[in-house]
Amino acid sequence: MVVGLLDILFLPQKRARIAVLEDDVKANESTRKRLESQLSSLKAARTGNGLTNGRDTFLTQLAADEQAVVALTAQVAEQAASDPERLQRLAEATKTAREAANRWTDNVDTLRRYVSDKFGMSSADFARQFGVPADLEYLEEEAPPQKA
């Protein structure tokens, strides 16, 4: 009688455990089916990725286009040195630098005259003491090179 009583007392717990196990089995089955379908779609995608005539010609054209892009990029880089805007900026920068050099030369000459007049120092002594080069001259504006 004790055995029957224990079965009756623990029957709801057994049923709950069985229900949980059945739910787990159903979840495992649905997961397995989902994985099998993904595996089959993966296999189909792998086999469908082979080289076909259309894909092969496309890849050949893509390689040719990439080579053309590299060649054109190199050509643009070569012609960048002849860019009119760049040459204009270079000419303006050269003009500004020449004007600045001539201002410095003018300032050195003014200082040389001042020191010569005020302190009686000769130009050669001034150049030697202050490290002024002997060939310090104004820069003349050069004519642009003639195109042949």
State the angle between helix axes of 84-119 and 123-130 in degrees (0 to 180), rounded to the nearest 10. Answer: 120
State the pLDDT at residue 83: 83
SS3 28: helix
State the pLDDT at residue 4: 66
State the pLDDT at residue 148: 44
State the pLDDT at residue 28: 93
Separation CA 84–CA 131 (nearest Å): 40
State the pLDDT at residue 13: 80
Region at 106 (left for phi over 0; alpha for psi -120 to 50; beta for the rest) = alpha
State the pLDDT at residue 94: 92
User: The tokens of 54 are what?
Assistant: 């259309």
What is the per-residue pLDDT across 100-135, written as a single tens digit (0 to 9) for each? 999 999 999 999 999 999 999 888 888 899 898 878
Residue of 131, 113, 133 whose CA lies nearest to 123? 113
* pLDDT mean for each 10 residues of the chain (148 residues): 64 82 91 92 73 77 95 89 86 93 92 91 89 85 59
- Report in angstroms the alpha-carbon separations of 63 from 19, 55, 67, 71: 61, 12, 6, 12
**Domain spans in the chain, listed from the N-terminal domain onward:** 1-48
